[in-house]
A and B are shown apart, each in its own frame.
Chain A
Amino acid sequence: MALLEVRNLSVHFGGLAAVHDLSFVIEQGERLAIIGPNGAGKTTTFNLLTGQLKPSSGEVVFKGEQITHASVFARTHLGMARSFQITSLFPHQTVYVNALIGLQGTQRSRYRMFRPLFKDKALEMAAQELLESTELWDLRGEIASSLAYGQQRKLEMALSLASKPDLLLLDEPSCGLTTTESADITARIAALGSMITVLMIAHDMDLVFGVAERVILMHYGEIAAEGTCDEIRSNQMVRDIYMGSRKTLGHAR
């Protein structure tokens, strides 16, 4: 059984078909990348998968369950998590509190009304582990909005991992980062382990070819091409669509 199955998914904004008749499948443990020019409908696809947007038609099946109309948080509890293209943190809270809030989202304790958050030993241990693994532990006392951009992206990543997802959706994880930071993120994603299935949107071809096993090219809300990295690299349509755009495929390894 496929982990995620997308069938004929469409959504329209007024007259614009932002996503049109999209179908694809992700197997357990796979690393799939979605590429495509600006406005192709990649982020919109993510919003449909995570439930932020409801599709005009089509369906989404996750772990064999129909989740087309499930709420965002219900999907998270089922094992889906995402990062956002535009960094989405708790800007007024410390890095540490960001981690605590992130971690308890899928735990029963999140409804506890009388126990101080800071007295939850298990949660604190988990927060330390999460922040250490993302190299943010030393910054735990900093307010999130005061972090440098590269660190904010790391925290973004940490938050999307906080719910221990089975399927991780990453929306341009290296967007706006320096080459070094970008390489670091690439290594991190590659090292995630086969328990986590990754679907990511990326413009950065080093990231795509460094991590993904399979690539989907989106164009005008539809799948224009699909294949392994090698197939995509030699695909004429991919070359046409990316021709003249800021990233060239010749750059890739």
Chain B
Amino acid sequence: MGDRPDDVAKSDAPRGRARGGIAPTGKGARSFVETGLPVLAIGVVVLLLPLFLPTFVSSLVTKMMIFALFGMSLNLIWGYTGIPSFGHAAFFGLGGYGAGVLVLRVDITNFWLGLLFALLLTAAVAAILGFPAFRVFGVGASDNPIYFLLTTIAFGELLARAAIALRPITGGSTGLAGIPHPDLGFGITVTAGRYYYLVFVIFVVCLFIIYRIVNSHYGYALRGIHDNERRMQALGYNTWLYKYTSWIIAAVFGGVAGVMFAYFGGIMVPNNLSMITSDIAFLVVILGSTTTFFGPIVGSVAFVGVEYLASLYLPERWPLILGSLFVVTIMFIPQGLGVMILKLWRRLLYGAA
């Protein structure tokens, strides 16, 4: 598997990560021009987009934001802690089903309550699954994660089976259809056109939280575990606890993406819990890069773009295209589009280096 973040980091890290590290002298290195400006510019463009472009574009961008968050949640454990999971859709689906079930079966229509319930549900399930998962994923397991990967696939398939079996609650194999427009309380219902902004706000908030987490004390401990878990233990870190908690955090953000997805399409199907959907997160991360924070956003833009073009021109060939996308990415841009863009941007700013 060419997706071990280490392979990537070796080539990229000397420039990529040294910057933040040279404190106190190098603190200004991540200057406003380098990061702040593009973030602001993109933010404003995305915010104003629906005013100028047709609805189908904002619908695509909504999807990009949802899958970007889905990818970033996977990247939290994969790119930072070094735990690659093949079953991340389990949490995506749980989030979506959780919110949907609350609206359709329990008749609690408030969006925020649905979100809260979905998050608690994903956190609880992740907390339970984390125990067997990290028995399999012991110290140094990132060198040979195959058993862990199989275990995480099993989680997703198991939940998908459960969703099919629990027909009265989940709608069985046809799925949970008819999820209404989100009701924000205070008599505000978000119409299709406005949903874009709700997703935007939630996306930005999640982005901010994840950004804070990965750059915190805790976040650097995760990076340390990725690099060298044995050393981390010798330094006094309870590495199991970090792996376990970061797994739950990743699950919760995956759940948020799932909730947004459920309201986006108005339907959840068992496949949203299984491998097919996990692949999306996986691809979004690989496309974007596991070594940059924003990588999955780029990955998601690319993924949703290709998916859209495929649906226009080659609708029956999607599995083939999906597979090719995997292969092409791994072969030709193993470090990911995120790293590529970062390099180009820095070259543009600072001249050839």
Pick the contact of A114 from B24, B26, B216 — CB < 8 Å? Answer: B216
B154 within 8 A of A: no
Q: Cβ of B216 and Cβ of A90 under 8 Å apart? A: no
Judge whether A88 and B228 touch: CB under 8 Å.
yes
Given A73-B238, A93-B223, the answer on whether A109 and B13 have CB atoms closer than 8 Å is no
Q: Is the CB of A106 within 8 A of B220?
A: no
| B193 is an interface residue with CB less than 8 A from chain A | no
Contact of A81 among B10, B26, B234, B237 (CB under 8 A): B234
CA gap between A84 and B26 in the complex, in Å: 31
Contact B21 A76 (CB under 8 A): no
Q: Is the interface of A mostly helix, strand, loop or mixed?
A: mixed
Chain B residues touching A, majority SS: helix
Q: Which residues of B contact A8 (CB under 8 A)?
A: none
A88, A105, A143: which contacts B230 (Cβ < 8 A)? A88
Mask: chain B, 200-244; 1 = CB below 8 Å from A; 0 = not: 000000000000110111111101100110111111111100000
Chain A proximity of B16: nearest CB distance (Å): 9
- Is B341 close to A, CB under 8 A? no
Within the assembled complex, what's the spacing in Å between the Cα atoms of A69 and B234?
15
Q: Given the known A-B contacts A90-B227, A143-B14, are A117 and B217 also in contact in the complex, defined by CB atoms under 8 Å? A: yes
Complex contacts, B10 vs chain A, CB 8 Å: 92, 145
Instruction: Enumerate chain A residues within 8 angstroms of B221, measured Cβ to Cβ.
Output: 101, 104, 110
Q: Is A250 an interface residue (CB 8 A)?
A: no
| Count of interface residues, chain A, beta-carbon cutoff 8 Å | 48
Partner of B236, one of A52, A76, A141: A76
Contacts of A96 in B (CB 8 A): 21-23
A250 to B236, CA, bound (A): 41
Query: In this assembly, does B346 line the interface, its C-beta being within 8 Å of a C-beta of chain A?
Result: no
Find chain B residues with CB under 8 A from A76 CB: 233-236
Q: Are A118 and B238 in contact (CB under 8 A)?
A: no
Q: Which one of B22, B213, B227 contacts A113 once the chains associate, using CB atoms below 8 Å?
A: B213
Nearest neighbor of A121 in chain B, beta-carbon distance? B24
Chain A residues close to B by CB (< 8 Å): 50, 52, 71-73, 76-77, 81-82, 84, 88-97, 100-102, 104-106, 109-118, 120, 124, 140-143, 145-146, 159-160, 162-163
- Residues of B that sit less than 8 Å from A by CB: 6, 9-10, 13-14, 17-18, 20-24, 26-27, 212-213, 215-221, 223-224, 227-228, 230-239
Q: List 24 A-B contacts (CB under 8 A).
A: A71-B238, A73-B233, A77-B236, A84-B231, A84-B234, A90-B223, A91-B227, A92-B6, A92-B9, A93-B17, A93-B21, A94-B22, A96-B21, A96-B22, A97-B223, A105-B236, A106-B235, A110-B237, A112-B218, A113-B212, A115-B217, A116-B216, A117-B217, A118-B27
